[in-house]
Structure 1
Amino acid sequence: MKVYLVLPLVAFALAACEREDREYRANPMTAESQEKIALVPLSAGPSGPTEYRSGLGKEYEENAFHISQGQRFYTWFNCNGCHANGGGGSGPALMDDRWIYGGQIENIVQTIREGRPNGMPSFRRKIPDDQIWEIAAYVRSMGRNVPKAAAPGRKDDMSPGPAEQRRPPGQVIDGGQVPPSAQMPQ
């Protein structure tokens, strides 16, 4: 008799549980997000440049799974070859607060997708769009620009500082501005 009472309660409790909603299949490479990003705050006329941000960045930056996938893709696609674990090599450093083309996730996605003059190749149609977003989220985590709960721990032996989730939050300085680390001492 008690079994008949407990069984519906257990079924109700299991039905009430929520699971994380995760897509296991990547979107095809032809379905990339359409972002309109301004690289500098300058524009013709009195108003600033028109931008359109899809809001996908928040979904990737606040999800530990996406950031850890980005960390894996960062190694797989040999980003270390130019950016040397984020500290800079033949490519610019990714751990500091200095960004030539903007440090928001949409700017980083555009840089990976389109490439930049003098070295950064374009990865459009070579890397699926969701993987580009994951790599960009990981790059943002290097500069301490993601929530602590989502930030990955460093696996590399080259990092002289503590892991990302143990550092204080960073501040992004967009292109065209001088970051505090590059200013002359007073």
Structure 2
Amino acid sequence: MMRATTIILMTAFMSAACGDKRATTVQPSGTPAGVRTSDLSAGLTPPDTTTEGPFTSESEKGAALRDGAQLYVSMNCAGCHGGKGGGGIGPPLSDARWIYGHRLENIVQTVLQGRPNGMPSYAHKLPQREVWKIAMFVQSFSHALPEAKE
């Protein structure tokens, strides 16, 4: 009798300990398919510059683009994204698949705050003006992108 009671109690205890522990994840509306919600996080305060960036004249934009090319190399962006933005360790920058957006301010935010799974933050490594230069250069890889519908 004692043995039967012990077996029943052990079975009940083990059954209770093995409850359904599956996590349920609700995909928020508006989250792109294929992007885990755990990979998305709130960012820094948006840059205090307009969407065109701090460079207004064509000569400023040309100089910023040249500087951005040099910064892209010196900050080792090419190490992950390839010399011409074709990708490698990091995602390609020359195609139309941009998880966090292809507009200048989106690229600036990505460089400033970094992204999960590999992209470091450069907020404390580069002045914001230099980040805009890199963003302009990165955007030039995919200059043929159609304007996103938002």
Taking structure 2 as the reference length, the TM-score comes to 0.61
Cα distance per residue 1:122-176 (max 9 Å; x no partner): 11111111100000000111111xxxxxxxxxxxxxxxxxxxxxxxx432447xx
Change (3 A) 1:54 1:129: closer
Q: Residue 7 of structure 2 aligns with which residue?
A: none
Change (3 A) 1:117 1:142: same
**RMSD of equivalent CA atoms:** 2.9
1:57 paired with 2:52, answer yes
Q: Residue 145 of structure 2 aligns with which residue?
A: 170
Q: Residue 139 of structure 2 aligns with which residue?
A: 140
Q: State, as a whole percentage, how many aligned pairs show the same letter.
A: 40
Name stretches of at least 5 consecutive residues in structure 2 with no aligned partner. 1-27, 32-45
Note if contact 1:60-1:67 (Cα within 8 Å) is conserved in structure 2: no
For 1:105, give the aligned amino acid: L
SS state at 1:57 partner: coil
Q: Residue 68 of structure 1 aligns with which residue?
A: 66
Question: What is the CA–CA distance in structure 1 between the aligned matches of 2:53 and 2:124, rounded to whole Å?
Answer: 23
Q: Residue 91 of structure 1 aligns with which residue?
A: 90
Q: Residue 111 of structure 1 aligns with which residue?
A: 110
For 2:129, give the aligned amino acid: D
Question: What is the CA–CA distance in structure 1 between the aligned matches of 2:147 and 2:132, rounded to whole Å?
Answer: 18
* Bigger-Rg structure (1/2): 2
Cα distance per residue 1:56-83 (max 9 Å; x no partner): 5354485111011000100000001000
For 2:109, give the aligned amino acid: Q
For 2:49, give the aligned amino acid: S
Identify, as 1 or 2, the structure richer in helix: 2
Note if contact 1:57-1:137 (Cα within 8 Å) is conserved in structure 2: no
Name stretches of at least 5 consecutive residues in structure 1 with no aligned partner. 1-39, 44-50, 145-168, 178-186
Question: What is the CA–CA distance in structure 1 between the aligned matches of 2:119 and 2:73, rounded to whole Å?
Answer: 16
Question: What is the CA–CA distance in structure 2 between the aligned matches of 1:142 and 1:107, rounded to whole Å?
Answer: 15
Aligned length: 105
Note if contact 1:99-1:173 (Cα within 8 Å) is conserved in structure 2: no
The ranges of structure 1 where at least 4 consecutive aligned residues each deviate by more than 2 angstroms after the TM superposition are: 40-43, 51-54, 56-62
Note if contact 2:93-2:142 (Cα within 8 Å) is conserved in structure 1: yes
Cα distance per residue 1:22-48 (max 9 Å; x no partner): xxxxxxxxxxxxxxxxxx9949xxxxx
Taking structure 1 as the reference length, the TM-score comes to 0.50
